[in-house]
Amino acid sequence: QQQVKQSPQSLIVQKGGISIINCAYENTAFDYFPWYQQFPGKGPALLIAIRPDVSEKKEGRFTISFNKSAKQFSLHIMDSQPGDSATYFCAASNLQDAGNNRKLIWGLGTSLAVNP
């Protein structure tokens, strides 16, 4: 059962455009939503994360938008650059879970290609 559904699976954007990746979750207890960026041949690295007490978090050209009622969160990459070409993973967890119930649930990833 996929508890975090990520879309699209792949995305092609022109340089300067806006890249949007969406994630939907089922567990209303989730309260931590990170995004990881993975360049080809490398391990993933934390890009940006959000808690549900805010609806938006921005770091440079990267913005997370969070819609608690819709149980959705999305990553927006403004002014997309060829160097942003990577695989992006969303994830979610419940920080209040205890013991073995604590786990990070991953989306399946989105492969982004930004054409020059």
Residues of the shown chain interacting with another protein in the complex, contacts defined by CB under 8 A: 9, 32, 34, 36, 41-46, 89, 93-95, 97, 100, 102-104, 106-109
* Beta carbon of residue 79, minimum distance to another protein (angstroms, whole number): 25
* Beta carbon of residue 42, minimum distance to another protein (angstroms, whole number): 6
Q: Measured between alpha carbons, how far is 34 from 32 in angstroms, rounded to an integer? A: 7
Beta bridge partners of 89: 36
Nearer to another protein, 69 or 100 (CB): 100
Q: Measured between alpha carbons, how far is 41 from 87 in angstroms, rounded to an integer? A: 11
Q: Residue 94 has which token pair?
A: 């419940």
